[in-house]
Amino acid sequence: MLKLNGKGVYGAVATGKISVFKRQEAQVRRIHVEDTAAELFRVDAAKKKASEQLSAIYEKALKEVGETNAQIFEIHMMMIEDEDYNESIQSIIENQSVNAEYAVAVTSDNFAEMFSSMDDAYMQARAADVKDISNRIIACMAENGGSDNGSDDKVIICADDLAPSETVSLDKEKVLAFVTAHGSSNSHTAILARNMNIPAIIGVGDELLEKIKDGDMAAVDGYTGEVFIDPDEKTLAEITAKQKSDLEKKELLKSLKGKENITLDGTKVNIFANIGSVDNIGAVLVNDAGGIGLFRSEFLYLENSDYPTEEQQFQAYKKVLESMAGKKVIIRTLDIGADKQVDYFSLDKEENPALGFRAIRICLTRPDIFKTQLRALFRASAFGNLGIMFPMITSVSELEKILAICDEVKAELKESNIEYSEKTEIGIMIETPAAAIISDRLAPMVDFFSVGTNDLTQYTLACDRQNPKLEEFCDTHHEAILRLIEMSAKNAHANGAWIGICGELAADTTLTETFLRMGIDELSVSPSYVLKLRDTVRNINLSK
């Protein structure tokens, strides 16, 4: 047995076989081949398989999101047959005597670069499409493509690190646990693991991938951060005992379903859930959350190979609102950039992406994208109890611009006789020190604040949330952060606004009493933390 140590970011345990995450690009190597005809045959076979896959996806999309949105897959099918694209692959294989994967990858890069350099925004967006179809063809050529272990067994995914887009694209039904060599606990990948309710360990170090291989048996303890490779019987028995105790605790917490979030002295608080996808709603309902405090809408963009259309977004938001049947649903507008990169946005590489062009800064610079999302949101507002929230706010003037665009969108909808709810609440995230410090100015302009402690911590303490080396300096309980939250709560209430917390700190039960004493009205956490938090709240006495 070999024991490795990392940092547990979701407390749960699992045992099973390891599947080493294979990144698509890493599989493409330039290999000299003698039999170029065989390579051409492999390309043809892979193209056929890719077209079949796309045709199935097209049919599914047609039923689920309508013809306009499904068209992109038709375009992909056409691109696979494009003469220039195919001639390029063929000539690279024949002239350079190289393997098919390499020829497809080079063609993909060349075509993507050509599309990106065009003036027309539509053509620029095709760069992502050509990469997408090329990756699909390469995956079809691989015996064991992507992270899919090729069987129906659930596996423990081990990776150097996972980007948010990679995490969302994993088949969640097949993942028992995540273990990564790098990464930090406030990264979006860690957040996604928590949302998926599975044990997750990060920062094991380079030895993780040096010492394991596909198919190794492992036991993962997300409480202690320990990973046991080829565990002995004693360890397996301990992990199984923890698994049993987890199940018992879950059963106990179930008895809290339907109960109020009320302290011993009668103070009530809303406990809502954070989600990143329409698929998470089941977990929200099962865990009896009072609403959705944060729907990270950017995952709709991350899951797509092109800008999601207004209709596509409208359907997704409407589904969430209808499923929540009148309970509050707060949808945050696009927060792309920094660690959440989407190819088709073609964002420039930046020296300091966390301090760069992200979130509302992109939306205010690209009003076409922003207005499409706002139209979808306001249209969906007619189907439930919606709150719209804006990320990364730093100034009054930004908020003035946002509110003016909201008014414009509402006026356009009214003009076209499209229904929306006038009761839609408007809120902002308090996730920069600037927003907290001027919260007295911002509060009169909105209905609510939601504190994003993940970013508020990184910006207040100057600690990149992606950098695992900074974990020890990144004290989430730092007095400066607590003071900024308290200041924001006072200013919200003094101006008739309510305030919630939707960053990971909301789930830290050692701070729940502190937050309630500050007057925080709502705590929004991963669905699986809702009942545990309810239990904590019900044992707090604020009158003491």
Q: Which residues are catalytic?
A: 188, 502
The distance of closest approach from Cβ of residue 33 to ligand PEP in the complex, given in angstroms and rounded to an integer, is 45
161 binds ligand PEP, rule: CB under 6 A: no
The distance of closest approach from Cβ of residue 459 to Mg ion in the complex, given in angstroms and rounded to an integer, is 9
Exposure of 351 by Cβ count < 10 A (0-12 exposed, 13-18 middle, 19+ buried)?
exposed
Of 171-200, binders to ligand PEP (CB under 6 A) are 191
Q: What is the CA radius of gyration of the chain?
A: 24
Q: How far is CA 475 from CA 464, 471, 479, 495, 516, in A?
A: 12, 8, 9, 30, 20
Binding region for ligand PEP (CB under 6 A) out of 158-166, 278-286, 447-455, 467-475 = 447-455
Q: CA-CA distance, 316 to 72, in Å (whole number)?
A: 18
431 binds ligand PEP, rule: CB under 6 A: yes
The distance of closest approach from Cβ of residue 452 to ligand PEP in the complex, given in angstroms and rounded to an integer, is 3
**H or E segment at 105?**
helix 100-116
Helix, strand, coil content of the chain in percent (nearest 5): 55, 15, 30
506 binds ligand PEP, rule: CB under 6 A: no
**Nearer Cβ to ligand PEP (226/455):** 455
The distance of closest approach from Cβ of residue 172 to ligand PEP in the complex, given in angstroms and rounded to an integer, is 19
**Nearer Cβ to ligand PEP (231/293):** 293
Among 158, 145, 155, smallest CA distance to 25 is for 145
Task: Select from 161, 221, 226, 335 the one that contacts ligand PEP (CB under 6 A).
Answer: 335
Tokens of 287: 């865990």
Tokens of 193: 């693991």
Q: Hey, which residues does 200 pair with through a beta bridge? A: 10, 178
Site size for ligand PEP, by CB under 6 A? 11
Of 387-406, binders to ligand PEP (CB under 6 A) are none
455 binds ligand PEP, rule: CB under 6 A: yes
Task: Select from 308, 353, 427, 452 the one that contacts Mg ion (CB under 5 A).
Answer: 452
Task: Look up residue 110 and give its amino acid.
Answer: N
454 binds ligand PEP, rule: CB under 6 A: yes
Among 172, 307, 195, 214, smallest CA distance to 22 is for 214
The distance of closest approach from Cβ of residue 80 to ligand PEP in the complex, given in angstroms and rounded to an integer, is 35
**Nearer Cβ to ligand PEP (296/375):** 296
CB 174 within 8 A of CB 192: no
- Which of ligand PEP, Mg ion, none binds 503 (CB below 5-8 Å, type-dependent)? ligand PEP
Q: Hey, which residues does 17 pair with through a beta bridge? A: 155, 217
Q: Kindly list the residues in this chain that would bind Mg ion in the complex (CB under 5 A).
A: 431, 452, 455
Q: Kindly list the residues in this chain that would bind ligand PEP in the complex (CB under 6 A).
A: 191, 294, 296, 335, 431, 452-455, 502-503
